[in-house]
Structure formats: C-alpha cells, structure tokens
Copies of this chain bind each other. A is one copy, B any other.
Amino acid sequence: MPVVTIKLAGTLTREQKKKVAEEVTATLERHAGKPASYTYIAFEELPDENWAIAGKLLDEE
C-alpha cells in the first residue's frame, strides 16, 4: 500500500524510470516489509519553469 510519488524537474527516460521503480520498490520491501505487489509509484515530471527554489524559478538559475 505504499504510494510513492516522485515529483521532479524535467523528464526522465523510460529506462531511468524503470530502474528507479525497481529499486524503490525493492527498498520498501527490504527495509519496510512492504510486499512489492502493493507498491505503486507515480512519476510527476514538471518543466523547470514550474519549480522554484529559494524564490527563483529553476529556469532563471
């Protein structure tokens, strides 16, 4: 039942998402005892213009 949301700037390739999903799911199984079959992962990719750190949009930096 863990639902993991990974929100990030820019995009990942399909291969990167695949690797990240595999490892995060394995981590939750190994250390938190959550069966892999219950783990959902959602990748939310936002353009740099839609993120700010320290009050500045990422694309200004």
Contacts and interface: CB of A to CB of B under 8 A. Distances in A.
A13 to B, nearest CB: 9
A39 B54 contact: yes
Contacts of A54: 25, 36-39
Given A1-B53, A7-B3, A58-B1, A31 B23 contact: yes
A28 B18 contact: no
B8 A1 contact: yes
A22 B58 contact: no
Interface in A13-61: 14, 16-28, 31-32, 34, 36-46, 49-60
Interface of A: 1-9, 12, 14, 16-28, 31-32, 34, 36-46, 49-60
